[in-house]
Structure 1
Amino acid sequence: MRISAHMVCTAVRDDIVSGAFPPGARLTEELLARRYGVSRVPVREALRTLESEGFVTTRRHAGACVAEPTEQEAADLLDLRALLEPLGTARAAQRRTEAQLRVLRGLVRLGQQRAERGQLSDLRALGDWYHETLAQACGSPTLATLLTQLRRKIAWVYAAEPPLRATAVWREHGAVVDAVARGDAERARALAAAHVERSVALRREQRPVAARRSRQKGAVRKTKHTVNTAGDNP
């Protein structure tokens, strides 16, 4: 079966978000083709797509590398989420389909059950599915794509999830879905804004992965310099 560039792009993006390819890591076509069992053609196309999304950057003499977002860029992602997610939720209250509503209600029910039982391992996947369905329900492919990309990039930039209270989070999701079901756009917007505000506040307490890595590299260089200096002046 021929593996498409889209499938390769998804695989590479998932590996970047998971940390398998850390910020700054080189992404050679040969390495990726071997890793995913494909030719270089779909790899080349996937890298171009990921560069347009901001996950990959091209450096002179180094080629394609995983991007290293600055702390300011990371903060901007949170600001964008705070602006766009309430808008998407309000639109969903006006445009969702019955099928999308059934999926959202089912996800909330599963999420609340898992959270109450302390079965936390499934919650990240359920949360991603919930937010992607809610984004699709806004009825705007452009906005849905932006929301999905934002969530992926925030998960990548900040890596580990902040210590959220799972039962409270899924209770908030349930309230949002109730407002969406009633077609109450303003209520849905307000609930989404409050939820995002709490989530963003926790994220802002984290140092972005690329910034932590840069600081660690700087500390290593400083340590080496100190050792060398000490060796020169016993």
Structure 2
Amino acid sequence: MNTMAPILTVKEQIAQQLRNDIISGALTPLSKLNEQALAERFGVSRGPIREVLVQLAKEGLLISKNNKGVSVAEILPKSLQKLLLEMRKKIEIYALSLIKDEITAEQINRLDFILAELQQAFIDNDYAKATLKDVEFHQYLVEEAGGEQLLNIWMPIVMRMRLNFQPGKHEASIVNEHSAIVDSLKQGEVSTAIKLMRATQY
């Protein structure tokens, strides 16, 4: 399992910040994005901003329409939300199946740290941060186990899901599910972690 964190380019950093703004609710569904305003915010020309907006549209986070500009995607119907959840779980279960006995103490510590931050965000009623930490937890598992290729498949599914997510409604379930998965990995029980991931609801 890879433990090296990638170094992000300026364009990748902008894309990640806008993803965070969208999934945390700082940018709400159907809100419009202005290239010039974003260029001024990030201190770059409009070219990189335009490329980032195209990328996020491909990921399903934004919608681009001729003569209407770019806006945050709208919330999906429940049937599609359920479909995305099943797709996400299949990828994460596959990632866990790759771990076998290779998980390290460093990786367990990282998962514990993310989980502690998730719990603290709920204690602080900071649901925007809780959403980001929930995504970070699952992203870390997928990237560490499956690498960049698997992460690139997983990312747009999860980003689109999180437009519909309200973590404050599921606080106890989210924390319990994550804690149980980490506990199983600590014990080297990957098969149990897979069963727990399959049973997750959020």
> Residue 60 of structure 1 aligns with which residue?
66
Counterpart amino acid of residue 16 in structure 1: I
The structure number with the bigger radius of gyration is 1
* Aligned-residue RMSD, C-alpha: 3.1
Which residue of 160, 184, 188 corresponds with 2:189? Answer: 184
User: Which runs of 5 or more residues in structure 1 are unaligned?
Assistant: 200-234
Counterpart amino acid of residue 172 in structure 1: E
Which residue of 48, 54, 79 corresponds with 1:48? Answer: 54
CA shift for structure 1 position 80: 1.3
TM-score calculated relative to the size of structure 1: 0.66
Are residues 79 and 162 of structure 1, via their aligned partners in 2, closer, same or farther at CA, if it must alter by over 3 Å? farther
What is the DSSP-based 3-state SS (H/G/I as helix, E as strand, rest coil) of the residue aligned with 1:139? helix
CA shift for structure 1 position 43: 0.5
CA shift for structure 1 position 163: 1.7
What is the DSSP-based 3-state SS (H/G/I as helix, E as strand, rest coil) of the residue aligned with 2:33? coil
CA contact (8 A) 1:94 1:183 kept: yes
Are residues 84 and 22 of structure 1, via their aligned partners in 2, closer, same or farther at CA, if it must alter by over 3 Å? same
| CA distance in structure 1 between the partners assigned to 2:135 and 2:103 by the alignment | 18
> Residue 15 of structure 1 aligns with which residue?
21
Are residues 129 and 118 of structure 1, via their aligned partners in 2, closer, same or farther at CA, if it must alter by over 3 Å? same
- Percentage identity across paired residues of the two chains: 26
| CA distance in structure 2 between the partners assigned to 1:177 and 1:150 by the alignment | 23
Counterpart amino acid of residue 104 in structure 2: T
User: Which runs of 5 or more residues in structure 2 are unaligned?
Assistant: 1-8
> Residue 24 of structure 1 aligns with which residue?
30
Higher helix share: 1
CA shift for structure 1 position 69: 5.1
TM-score calculated relative to the size of structure 2: 0.74
CA contact (8 A) 1:17 1:152 kept: yes
- Mapping for residues 1-234 of structure 1, pairs under 5 Å: 4-68=10-74, 70-71=76-77, 72-108=79-115, 110=116, 114=120, 118-121=123-126, 123-156=130-163, 158-166=164-172, 169-194=174-199, 196=200, 198-199=201-202
CA shift for structure 1 position 189: 0.8
